[in-house]
Chains A and B, each alone.
Chain A
Amino acid sequence: MTEITHHISEELLTAYAAGSLGQAFSVAVAAHVSLCLECRARLAAVEHVGGAVLDGLATQSVGGDLKAAVMAALDMPAPAEEATAPRRSGIYPGAVMAALKGRPPKWRALGAGIRQCIISEGPDGSLRLLYIPPGQAVPDHGHGGLEMTLVLQGSFHDETGQFGVGDIEIAAEELEHTPIAGQGLACICLAATDAPLRFRSWLPRLLQPVFRI
């Protein structure tokens, strides 16, 4: 296993721990942490600060019957849903499998051998998988807002560096980049944005307003 060199920023880890990241970014962060021991430890450190903040927080008095209700419920069986979280399957961490609802990805051809599986899409962001054949370039694309790209198989490189399995690229809105898949295995990436998708196929940019791409 190659060393992971591209990590998640302290700020994004804090936002994840605090619950202020949207669903798509949260999947990407949880998936990266699944693959990266360093970020697992850094997330634990962030949660320590969170715990210290919680301990020092101003209190809100709770109703007297709440404690009685909780104590009375201790012997009740746990709800079943807690045991059924999807687990890692092949190259896909549990958080990705959960987003896929436990099923394998359904790929759609985009042209030039590139495939895409849109997992979720909405005004607050999108989550999708990309499949890029070895050596293939993904044409220039900008993105509204922030984009996180996590490599799950193979590798890619672009103007900013080299990305292997477990590496995550955090690209700000300004970045116009041309990722090129490495040789060897096809590159499979998880891509999360906090803005609507800008490209879904190889249609020219000027058609974007018409086709919502």
Chain B
Amino acid sequence: MRYVDGFRLPGAAKALTQELARLGDALGPRRVKLMEVCGSHTMAIARYGLKDLLPANVRLVSGPGCPVCVTDPGYVDAALALAERGAALATFGDMLRVPGSRGSLADARAAGADVRVFYSPVQALEWAEAEPDQAWVVLAVGFETTAAPLAALALEIRRRGLGNVTLLTATKTVPPALDALVADPALAIDGFLCPAHVSAIIGARAYLPYAEEHGRACVVAGFEPLDVLYGVKGLLEQLVAGVARVDNQYERVVRWEGNPAAQRAIARVFVPVDAPWRGLGVVPASGLALGPGLADLDASVRFERPVTAGRVNPACRCGDVLKGVIEPAECRLFGAPCVPERPLGPCMVSSEGSCAAAWRYSGRGAR
């Protein structure tokens, strides 16, 4: 644990907090909004109460960075349809509560569907080998960090010649979503705290357009509390200096060019497709589908059940919450009917999403 504890030292946090206060003062009357793009940053910020440590004129807004939360209801509907046809579903645990149009995987499991939670997608292959007569569908959800191991998984299915495993893909890439966000003139975000593990794959250089073309400060930061505080400090320094560039403050994991081997594996297995994001709508070329040579591993092809866009309550304003345009409570659905137990948009699906957090801190949630 010493490799973790070093990034949680109270003394260092205090020094950084003082530095943040100084930078907050240096901003003068200006109020700034920073977006943490990645769900794991959101989790760390919540877990360590880091919002308390920011200057009053600096706000963190949670971005679209949880791949599970932005999964379209239509994807969940398709997974449930495959389960109804007898497929066993293998999934990451946090997909279980994500609502489809007619309920979640957890609801389906309670009703008898075979839904199993893995810790690593490779476990699905062990299950499939142990039950060769059972059709298995791996719910391939995730960003670049997960896309790389999913690419390896697809190649391994092929190598082992497993005929009973397919992938239902809702794999996504982060830059197209950021492209969609910065293209909106209403976007009230001054800087991006860029993802840690996603950047380990795609490299810090992936954020150059947001700094150079869109003038947003960008800092790649790690997930430990000191990493996050240090990242915010980097963003404020850029804002105080009136510059926008990409700083990589997570050099112990992230390289400027990323991980070329993982990039090659992703390119070998997947092709970009337009994909729906809960809360953002369809984002061009933001999805990863299995490439032409691997179409037989695509569950939607094998089962002839294409994934179609699901229906989200049109009044849901998660897109505006994500962009920092409105506060969660300004959404008409906030609190009724949209609550953490029955979430509609991604900001409520994630336990630490902006809406779920706002709900809890309002004192109305928690139990």
Tell whether A pairs with B.
Answer: no
Interface residues of chain A, those whose CB is within 8 Å of chain B, are none
